[in-house]
């Protein structure tokens, strides 16, 4: 009974968001049942549509896992958006600036670049949080804006593709492109990498000493320090791992979908991943379900306009409502940690 109640509470923001969406649809003279049925069909109605949904879910798996890693340690890290952006730029840079005959080696270096840049990007707020108790919400939020500014400056300056007006790097070499899983869809091998990371995360949570210490620090940092856990090490390690996973996700997105870095590279994958992590309460299975659901919303939203007069903004309404309701969890999270 308690388990069923917990599951219902976890998905309550999603249920309410669809209720809000229904009100909006009725207000504009559309049938919520027909539109939602169309969205379900567009998201899961055929192999091609399922592939599109999984492709849209791929970056969300990375950003949700990245966020959950730091959330478990009691650190409210909202800097995954910046790590994703700079990781994507780093992966694309290695992809177009280096040419290798061996595809796996080239891809490895591209992904490694994303991992390193994403991890390093969050080191400063991690150190400040662990040593000086500087609020990580403020530092990571500011770093998101800085990451966008850096990427924009580079992609419109020294990394601008020759002959391009603005906003994009050169195309990566073919040897750096991730394998397409179901061509001609955009589903690529990054989805399998994301699943592998998600499985590792699930194992990390349940079967590793670091995962146990990570959880203990998140539950009560003072008590953890009292019983001998190196809380500073756990906090810094968790944020570095979080940034590395976010950077890996950005690199996979650049190599698998865009094959370059372009301005507007992320339409908010880091923020959506944060909402998924909050709603799923950092559960690996919940992250998978939430990522697929949000992927279906994004995928269906791009095609539903072909069959109705509903604007794509409806998807923003649904996602924004989930984010707003998930924010309630944010305040509870911060309050609980402040009381410890």
Q: What does pLDDT average to over the chain?
A: 88
Q: Which domain holds residue 309?
A: 2-339
* Predicted pLDDT of residue 20: 79
* Predicted pLDDT of residue 312: 63
**CA–CA distances in Å: residue 94 to residues 91, 100, 180, 260, 306:** 5, 10, 20, 10, 38
d(CA 312, CA 45): 19
**CA–CA distances in Å: residue 337 to residues 67, 74, 131, 330, 334:** 17, 7, 17, 11, 5
* Predicted pLDDT of residue 92: 98
d(CA 146, CA 174): 31
d(CA 19, CA 15): 6
Q: How many residues does the chain have?
A: 340
The answer to whether 79 and 269 are in contact (CB under 8 A) is no
- Other beta carbons within 10 angstroms of residue 282's beta carbon come to 22
Q: What pTM was estimated for this model as a whole?
A: 0.92
Instruction: Report the CATH number that the domain containing residue 32 is assigned in CATH.
Output: 1.10.3470
Bridge partner residues of 188 (DSSP): 180
Which parts of the chain have pLDDT scores under 70? 1-11, 302, 305-315, 319, 322-323, 325-340
The answer to whether 291 and 198 are in contact (CB under 8 A) is no
The answer to whether 96 and 228 are in contact (CB under 8 A) is no
Helix H or strand E segment including 193 = helix 190-207
The answer to whether 311 and 21 are in contact (CB under 8 A) is no
* Predicted pLDDT of residue 16: 77
d(CA 154, CA 17): 38
Reduced 3-state DSSP string for 90-107: HHHHHHHHCCCCCHHHHH
| DSSP letter (8 states) at residue 163 | T
Q: Residue 45 — φ and ψ, nearest 5°?
A: -75, -10
* Predicted pLDDT of residue 340: 46
| DSSP letter (8 states) at residue 174 | G
For the chain, the domain total comes to 1
* Predicted pLDDT of residue 2: 56
Q: Which residues contact 199 (CB under 8 A, 6 or more apart)?
A: 284
* Predicted pLDDT of residue 258: 95
d(CA 56, CA 58): 6
Q: Which two tokens stand for residue 262?
A: 């372009």
d(CA 189, CA 100): 19
């Amino acid at each position: 009974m308690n388990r069923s109640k917990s599951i219902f509470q976890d998905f309550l923001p999603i249920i309410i968001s669809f209720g809000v969406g229904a009100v909006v649809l009725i207000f504009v003279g559309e049938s919520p049942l027909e539109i939602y049925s169309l969205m379900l069909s567009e998201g899961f109605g055929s192999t091609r549509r399922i592939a599109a949904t999984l492709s849209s879910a791929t970056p969300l798996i990375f950003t949700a896992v990245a966020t959950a890693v730091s959330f478990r340690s009691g650190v409210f890290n909202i800097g995954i958006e910046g790590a994703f952006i700079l990781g994507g730029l780093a992966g694309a840079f290695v992809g177009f600036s280096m040419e290798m005959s061996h595809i796996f080696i080239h891809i490895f270096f591209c992904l490694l670049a994303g991992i390193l840049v994403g991890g390093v990007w969050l080191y400063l707020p991690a150190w400040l949080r662990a040593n000086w108790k500087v609020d990580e919400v403020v530092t990571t939020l500011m770093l998101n804006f800085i990451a966008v500014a850096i990427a924009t400056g580079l992609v419109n300056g020294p990394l601008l593709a020759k002959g391009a007006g603005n906003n994009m790097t050169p195309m990566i070499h073919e040897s750096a492109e991730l394998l397409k899983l179901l061509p001609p869809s955009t589903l690529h091998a990054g989805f399998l990498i994301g699943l592998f990371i998600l499985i590792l995360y699930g194992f990390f949570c349940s079967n590793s000493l670091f995962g146990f210490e990570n959880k203990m620090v998140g539950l009560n940092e003072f008590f953890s320090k009292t019983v001998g856990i190196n809380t500073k090490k756990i906090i810094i390690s968790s944020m570095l791992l979080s940034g590395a996973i976010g950077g890996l996700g950005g690199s996979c997105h650049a190599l698998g979908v865009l094959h370059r870095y372009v301005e507007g590279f992320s339409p908010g994958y880091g923020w959506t991943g944060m909402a998924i992590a909050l709603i799923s309460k950092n559960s690996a299975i919940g992250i998978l379900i939430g990522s697929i659901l949000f992927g279906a919303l994004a995928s269906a939203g791009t095609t539903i306009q072909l069959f109705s007069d509903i604007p794509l903004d409806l998807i923003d309404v649904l996602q924004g409502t989930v984010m707003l309701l998930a924010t309630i969890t944010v305040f509870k999270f911060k309050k609980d940690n402040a009381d410890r």
